[in-house]
């Protein structure tokens, strides 16, 4: 009898553990965004102060812009920014000038930040050759999980947990150091070493001169390898070491090498690690996941690039770019004339705004009620500051009621009964 009870208990325990694991991966936000590679560098599209451009993603770098980007991205020269406790790059030698602020920065539809500091770079012709405006760091993802899939050229941003296909038993802890450096472990012949994750530097391991001297006493020399000098092209040849029995988060790394890079301030795990598998960086819980590309099938819902879809009968989140393309392009300087053929309601809101949060479910009800007659949108005012500034949106919630081919009727406050009346009298007459 005791044996049966024990078996039942173990089954229930296993069920609870499995259930807990499943619950842990239920995310409130998942967005899949494509990126491209040029000369091996990861190039992502981002929107800064309402202007969309390409940037290199460098997780061991900092936000930094080319000189000409300051004007193109509307960086206010009179608004100085500050990095918390450093005046230049923490992990590599990069010549920089003053620090400014980027009022709004966004990648995709859900990841954004306001008033991030940004270095002004000195002239960097190689970045210009890559066709980018500058460099973005991991600062945008500090409240998310960033997953990089180099094979499929996708980044996935989730909150608050890793994607479901990343295995729990393929993870390690990491330390987040000043400058948002992700210091993660790598094992060589069973001995751990701590390196800053770097998505810029070529090769698997790049060592400072001091670390290279120490490692040279333990590992055999290899052929010379090319390294990059800051944000210049990979050109200079330096000595290398052959690393035997190298493991990273339970994955064996074949033909591992370490190269000396005299332009680093701290040794790094270079972007070649991305050729061996998918990596997830959980900034919230300071966990790093890594597994071979096809260890687990990626569910269809988490594999496709996320697109902005407008659903009739729903309160649809939209961006400034969607507004310009489908509502009104105010950059042309004409009078506001809505270019759609169906009336719309736009709710400007923010998460910190209590009345906004109370109004949202009421707006969702109205969207369902007027399905087929009126389209309903919502704009996150924290993310879309340029759009708010353009139309003088200061108090929240602010609502635009726009008839087909007409100009907006603007109302402020959380009064759904009044808004239903406006829809009936102004939009459906």
Looking at the domain assignment, is residue 9 inside a domain?
no
CA 402 → CA 24, 373, 424, distances in Å? 42, 13, 12
Q: Is 314 within 8 Å of 364 (Cβ atoms)?
A: yes
| Domain CATH code at residue 194 | 2.40.70.10
Classify residue 45: in a domain, yes or no: no
Cα angle 208, 209, 213; round to 5: 115
Domain boundary among 272, 293, 325: 272
Q: How far apart are CA 91 and CA 229, in angstroms?
A: 12
In a domain, 251, yes or no: yes
Q: Residue 278, SS3?
A: strand
Q: 212: domain range?
A: 177-272
Which of 216, 249, 272 represents a domain boundary (last residue)? 272
Written as tens digits, the pLDDT of the chain (429 aa) is 444 444 434 444 443 444 434 445 589 899 999 999 999 999 999 999 989 999 999 999 999 999 999 999 999 999 999 998 899 999 999 999 999 999 999 999 889 999 999 999 999 999 999 999 999 999 999 999 999 999 999 999 999 999 999 999 999 999 999 999 999 999 999 999 999 999 999 999 999 999 999 999 999 999 999 999 999 999 999 999 999 999 999 999 999 999 999 999 999 999 999 999 999 999 999 999 999 999 999 999 899 998 878 899 999 999 888 999 899 998 887 789 898 889 999 999 999 999 999 999 999 999 999 999 999 999 999 999 989 999 999 999 999 999 998 999 999 999 999 999 999 999 987
Contact between residue 101 and residue 121 where contact means Cβ atoms under 8 Å apart: no
Establish if 396 belongs to a structural domain: yes
- Does 28 reside within a domain? no
Residue with tokens 């590309």: 293
Q: Confirm whether 140 is domain-assigned.
A: no
Structure tokens at 182: 């992700």
Active site (catalytic) residues: 353, 356
- In the numeric block, the tokens 């980007």 are attached to 69
Q: What are phi and psi of 336, to 5 degrees?
A: -65, 115
Domain end, chosen from 272, 297, 329, is at 272
Note whether residue 148 is domain-resident.
Answer: no
Q: Are residues 421 and 319 in the same domain?
A: yes
Domain at 393, CATH number: 3.40.30.10
Cα–Cα dist 218/199, whole Å? 26
Give the integer Cα–Cα distance in Å for 408 and 370: 18
Rounded CA Rg of the chain: 25
Structural domain tally of the chain? Answer: 2
């Amino acid at each position: 009898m005791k044996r049966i009870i024990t078996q039942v208990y173990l089954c229930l325990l296993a069920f609870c553990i499995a259930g807990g694991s499943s619950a842990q991966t239920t995310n409130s936000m998942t967005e899949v965004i494509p990126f491209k590679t040029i000369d091996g560098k990861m190039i992502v599209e981002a929107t800064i102060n309402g202007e969309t451009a390409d940037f290199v993603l460098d997780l061991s770098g900092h936000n930094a812009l080319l000189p000409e980007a300051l004007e193109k991205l509307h960086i206010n020269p009179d608004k100085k920014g500050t990095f918390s406790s450093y005046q230049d790059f923490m992990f590599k030698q990069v010549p920089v000038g003053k620090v400014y602020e980027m009022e709004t920065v966004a990648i995709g539809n859900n990841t954004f930040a306001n008033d991030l500091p940004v270095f002004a770079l000195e002239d960097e012709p190689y970045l210009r050759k890559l066709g980018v405006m500058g460099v973005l760091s991991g600062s945008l993802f500090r409240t998310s999980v960033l997953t990089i899939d180099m094979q499929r050229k996708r980044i996935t941003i989730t909150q608050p947990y890793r994607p479901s296909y990343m295995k729990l038993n393929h993870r390690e802890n990491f330390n987040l150091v000043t400058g948002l450096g992700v210091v993660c472990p790598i094992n060589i012949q069973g001995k751990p070493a701590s390196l800053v994750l770097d998505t810029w530097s070529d090769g698997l391991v790049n060592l400072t001169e001091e670390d290279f001297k120490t490692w040279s006493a333990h590992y055999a020399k290899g052929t010379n390898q090319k390294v990059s000098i800051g944000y210049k092209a990979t050109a200079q040849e330096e000595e290398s070491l052959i690393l035997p029995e190298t493991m990273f988060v339970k994955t064996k790394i074949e033909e591992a090498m370490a190269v000396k890079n005299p332009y680093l301030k701290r040794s790094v795990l270079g972007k070649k690690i991305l050729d061996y598998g998918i990596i997830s960086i959980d900034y919230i819980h300071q966990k790093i996941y890594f597994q071979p590309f096809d260890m687990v099938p990626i569910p269809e819902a988490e594999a496709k690039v996320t697109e902005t879809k407008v659903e009739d009968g729903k309160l649809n989140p939209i961006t400034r770019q969607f507004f310009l393309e489908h509502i009104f392009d105010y950059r042309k300087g004409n009078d506001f004339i809505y270019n759609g053929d169906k009336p719309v309601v736009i709710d400007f809101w923010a998460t910190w705004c209590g009345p906004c949060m109370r109004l949202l479910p009421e707006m969702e009800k109205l969207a369902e009620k007027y399905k087929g007659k009126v389209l309903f949108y919502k704009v996150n005012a924290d993310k879309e500051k340029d759009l708010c500034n353009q139309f003088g949106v200061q108090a929240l919630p602010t609502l635009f009621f726009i008839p087909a081919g007409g100009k907006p009727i603007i109302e402020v406050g959380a009064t759904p009964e009044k808004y239903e009346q406006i829809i009936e009298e102004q939009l459906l007459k």
